[in-house]
Structure 1
Amino acid sequence: MPESSENPEPAESPEDPEQPEIPSAARRNDAYDYDVLVIGSGFGGAVSALRLSEKGYRVGVLEAGQRFTRETLPASSWDLTKFLWAPALGLYGIQRIHLLSNVMILAGAGVGGGSLNYANTLYVPPPAFFQDRQWGHITDWQEELKPFYDQARRMLGVRLNPTMTPSDVHLRDTAERMGIGDTFHLAPVGVFFGDGRDAAHAPEAPANGQDDPGSPDDPAAPAGPRAAPGDEVPDPYFGGAGPARRACVECGECMTGCRHGAKNTLMENYLYLAEQAGAVIHPMTTVVEVREERPGGEDGAPGTDTGFLVSTVPTAARRGRGTRRRTGRAGAAANGPRGMRTLRARRVVIAAGTYGTQSLLHRMRDSGVLPRVSDKLGFLTRTNSEALVGAQTIKRRYRSRWGRDATLDFTRGVAITSSIHPNENTHIEPVRYGRGSNAMSALTTLQVPQHSALPKPLAYLGVCLRHPVHFARSLSARRWSERIIIGLVMQSLDNSLTTHRRDKGLGKGVLTARQGHGAPNPVHIPEAAEFASTLAGELNGFAGSNVGELMGT
Structure 2
Amino acid sequence: MNSPRVSRRSVLRGAVLGMGAAALGPMTLGQAAAGAAPPGGKTAVVIGSGFGGAVAALRLGLAGFETTVVERGRRWPIDPAGNTFATLDQPDGRAAWFSDRPYINPLTQFQPIDRYAGVVDQIAGNGINAVYGAGVGGGSLVFGAYTPQPRRQDFERVFPRELDYGELDRVYYPRARAMLGTSPLPADLLAHPKYKGARAWLADLADFGTAPTFNDFCIDWDLVRAELAGTRRASVTVGEGPYGINSGAKNSVDHNYLPRAEATGNVSVLPLHEVVDIREVQGSNKFEVLLKQIDERGTVLGHTRRVADYLFMAAGSFHTSALLATAKATGALPRLGDQVGQGFGNNGDFLTSRVLTRRDYGAKQAGPGVALVYDDTDPAGPVSMSWQAAPFPEIAGGNTTTNLVQAITAERGSIDYNRATGRAELNYPHGEGGELDVQASRFAGRFHELADTRHGYPANGIPVYTRLAGFGSAATYHGLGGMVMGKACSLEGQVDGYPNMFVVDGSLIPGAVGLVNPSLTITAIAERCLDHFVAAHG
Q: Where on the TM-score scale, by shorter chain, does this alignment land: which range?
A: 0.5 to 0.7
The residue aligned with 1:485 is 401
Q: Which has the larger radius of gyration?
A: 1
1:340-351 alignment runs, 5 A limit: 340-351=303-314
Q: Could you tell me how far apart the structure 2 residues matched to 1:480 and 1:348 are?
A: 49
The residue aligned with 1:418 is 371
> Secondary structure of 1:154's partner?
helix
Indicate if the aligned counterparts of 2:236 and 2:368 stay in contact, CA closer than 8 A: no
Is 1:512 the counterpart of 2:426? The answer is yes
The gaps in structure 2 that reach 5 residues or longer are 1-38, 101-113, 476-538
Q: CA deviation at 1:550?
A: 8.7
Indicate if the aligned counterparts of 1:381 and 1:499 stay in contact, CA closer than 8 A: yes
Q: Could you tell me how far apart the structure 1 residues matched to 2:355 and 2:158 are?
A: 41
Q: CA deviation at 1:543?
A: 3.0
CA shift in 2, pair 1:360/1:188, >3 Å: same
Indicate if the aligned counterparts of 1:292 and 1:308 stay in contact, CA closer than 8 A: yes
The residue aligned with 1:166 is 196
2:151 to 123, 126, 144: 126
1:107 to 129, 132, 137: 132
The residue aligned with 1:80 is 92
CA shift in 2, pair 1:66/1:535, >3 Å: farther
1:288 to 276, 289, 293: 276
Q: Could you tell me how far apart the structure 2 residues matched to 1:228 and 1:311 are?
A: 44
CA shift in 2, pair 1:139/1:409, >3 Å: closer
Q: CA deviation at 1:364?
A: 0.9
Is 1:322 the counterpart of 2:322? The answer is no
> Secondary structure of 2:222's partner?
coil
1:148-227 alignment runs, 5 A limit: 148-162=172-186, 163-164=189-190, 165-177=195-207, 179=208, 181-194=209-222
State the TM-score, normalizing by the size of structure 2.
0.65
The residue aligned with 1:370 is 333
The alignment-based identity, stated in percent, is 23
The residue aligned with 2:527 is none
1:386-405 alignment runs, 5 A limit: 386-393=349-356
| Aligned amino acid, residue 215 of structure 2 | A
| Aligned amino acid, residue 133 of structure 2 | G
Q: CA deviation at 1:98?
A: 1.6
2:46 to 38, 42, 45: 38
| Aligned amino acid, residue 413 of structure 1 | A
What are the Cα deviations for residues 156-180 of structure 1, in whole angstroms up to 9, with x where unaligned? 1121112433223332343345x4x
Return 525-534 or 417-426, whichever deviates more: 525-534
Q: Could you tell me how far apart the structure 2 residues matched to 1:538 and 1:363 are?
A: 55
Q: Could you tell me how far apart the structure 2 residues matched to 1:134 and 1:188 are?
A: 22
Q: Could you tell me how far apart the structure 1 residues matched to 2:159 and 2:215 are?
A: 29
> Secondary structure of 1:381's partner?
strand
Which structure has greater helix proportion? 2
Q: CA deviation at 1:35?
A: 1.0
How many residue pairs get aligned? The number is 399
Is 1:90 the counterpart of 2:115? The answer is yes
| Aligned amino acid, residue 313 of structure 1 | K
Is 1:142 the counterpart of 2:166? The answer is yes
The residue aligned with 2:59 is 51
| Aligned amino acid, residue 117 of structure 2 | Y
Q: Could you tell me how far apart the structure 2 residues matched to 1:116 and 1:151 are?
A: 20
Q: Could you tell me how far apart the structure 1 residues matched to 2:218 and 2:170 are?
A: 18
| Aligned amino acid, residue 490 of structure 1 | Q
Indicate if the aligned counterparts of 2:48 and 2:315 stay in contact, CA closer than 8 A: yes
Is 1:528 the counterpart of 2:444? The answer is yes
> Secondary structure of 1:250's partner?
helix
> Secondary structure of 1:412's partner?
coil
Q: CA deviation at 1:520?
A: 6.1
Q: CA deviation at 1:374?
A: 1.2
Q: Could you tell me how far apart the structure 2 residues matched to 1:51 and 1:259 are?
A: 29
